[in-house]
Amino acid sequence: MATAAANKRLAREYKTITANPPPYITAHPSEHNILEWHYIITGPPDTPYANGQYWGTLHFPPDYPFKPPAIRMITPSGRFQPSTRLCLSISDFHPKSFNPAWEVSTILIGLLSFMTSEEMTTGSVNAGETERKRLAARSRWWNSTGGGSARNGAAKGNVGSGDAGKRFREQWPELDKENWEWMKKMGVDAATGGKVVAEKPVSGSTNTNVFEGRSVHRRGHVSPGVRGDKGTSVEVVMRGESWVRRHRVWLGLAVLVVYVLLARALE
C-alpha cells in the first residue's frame, strides 16, 4: 500500500504526464492500485520499432520516490525479454543510483532511450533488425490477443501470469478497440497474426482464406508437390479449367512441330 507521500507524488505525476506526455509515450496508473502503472511506447520512426505498440508496466515501491520502480515490457520487441524485470539505472535493480527528483516521464524517456540503443543488460535480448521489424508489425495484434490467446474479443488461454489480451483490454480499452478495427481493416487473422489473402472463389469449390505460413485446402482437382511459405503444403485448385487450357503449352508445341513438318514436305 502506498504511503501518503507516494500517493500524492504519483497523483501529481499522472496529471503532469497526461497534460504533457513525452514524445512516443503515454502512461497511467491502474484504476485499483496507484503503485502499478501501465505505459505504451510507440516505436519512433527511423528505428526497427517504427509504429510498433509496446505495452509495459512500472511497479512502484510504497516509499516512492525514495526507491525506483520495477520495469517490464510485456509486448515482444526483440529488445527485451517479455514481462521480465529490466536491469537499468532507473529501475529497482539499482536503488542507490535512483534520484528522487526523477519522475515517471523521466523513467520512461530513459527506457525509450535504452530501447533504441544496443547496450545489453539483464532482461535485454539482441534480436536482428528484421526480427524487430517483424515484431513491431505484429505488436498491435499481440497486445489485443495476447499473442493469439484471444479471438473476436473473447479471452482464451493464458499468457505468462494471465491472459495478456484480457489485461491489455482492461488497461487500454480504447486502444484495444482501435487494434481490433485495424486488424479487421488489414485482414489480420486474430488466431495467428497472419495476413488473410482474399482469393476469387472457384465455381464448385469450397475455399478457405490463405494465411501466411498455413496450408491451403480446397476441393477439386489437386496438383500435388507445390510448396507454400515456411514449407507448408499448398493444394492448388484446378477444377473448372478445360483440358485444352491446362495443356495449352504442349498443344502449342505440337502445332508448331506439325507446321514445320508440313512446310518441309511441301518444299
- In the chain, the N- to C-terminal Cα span, in Å, equals 105
> Residues 142, 144, 150, CA angle at the centre, nearest 5°?
90
Contacting residues for 184 by C-beta, under 8 A, at least 6 apart: none
Residue 252 β-bridge partners: none
| 3-state SS assignment for residue 97 | helix
Pairing of strands 222-223, 236-237: antiparallel
Q: What is the DSSP string of 128-197?
A: -HHHHHHHHHHHHHHHHHTTTTEETTEE-S-BTTB-HHHHHHHH-HHHHHHHHHHHHHHTB-TTT-PBEE
Q: Would you call 87 a catalytic residue per the annotation?
A: yes
Lookup result for grid cell 526480427? 131
Give 81's Cβ-side CA count (13 Å radius). Answer: 11
Number of Cβ atoms within 10 Å of the Cβ of 175: 18
Catalytic residue among 50, 70, 87, 236, which? Answer: 87
Residues 35, 69: Cα–Cα separation, whole Å: 9
Sign of CA pseudo-dihedral 9, 15, 18, 19: negative
Cell numbers placing 111 = 527506457
| 3-state SS assignment for residue 245 | helix
Catalytic residues: 87
